[in-house]
Amino acid sequence: MFLVIVLFTIASLLVLGVNAWLLIEEIFIVRVPPAMHHRVRFHVVHYFFHLCITLGNLLEKMKISTMPHFVRFVQDLLSSKNNPGVLVKNLHFGTIPVRLFQPKAPCSGLRRGIVFYHGGGGVFGSLDCFHNICSFLARETDSVLLSVGYRKLPDHHHPAAFQDCLNATIHFLKDLKTYGVDPARVVVSGESIGGGAAAIIAQVLLDRQDLPKFRAQVLINPIIQGINFQLPSYRQNQNAPFLSRKFLMTCVCKYLAINVSWIDAMGKGTFIPPDNWEKYKKWVSSDNIPQRFKSPGPQPEFPGRFNESAYLETRLLFSSETSPLLADDKIIAQLPEAFMVSCEHDVLRDDTLLYKKRLEDQGVPVTWCHLEDGFHGCILLFDKGIFSFPCSHNLMSSTVSYIKGI
Query: Cα torsion at 170, 176, 181, 182 (round to 10°)?
Result: 90
What's the Rg (C-alpha) of the chain?
21
Is 118 catalytic? The answer is no
Interatomic CA distance for residues 380 and 242, integer angstroms: 12
Closest residue by Cα to residue 95 from 190, 163, 187: 163
Q: How many CB atoms lie within 10 A of CB 310?
A: 21
Exposed e or buried b for every residue in 373-398, given b needs 16+ CB within 10 A?
Answer: bbbbbbbbbbbeeeebbebbebbbeb
End-to-end Cα, the chain, rounded Å: 66
Per annotation, catalytic residue among 50, 131, 158, 376: 376
Is 38 catalytic? The answer is no
Closest residue by Cα to residue 369 from 334, 332, 348, 344: 344
CB 137 within 8 A of CB 403: yes
Closest residue by Cα to residue 349 from 184, 188, 264, 238: 238
Residue ranges with strand state E in 346-389: 366-375
Is 65 catalytic? The answer is no
Per annotation, catalytic residue among 128, 164, 346, 351: 346
Per annotation, catalytic residue among 143, 147, 189, 192: 192
Interatomic CA distance for residues 27 and 369, integer angstroms: 31
CB 283 within 8 A of CB 226: no
Residue 34, SS3 per DSSP? coil
Interatomic CA distance for residues 348 and 223, integer angstroms: 6
Catalytic residues: 192, 346, 376
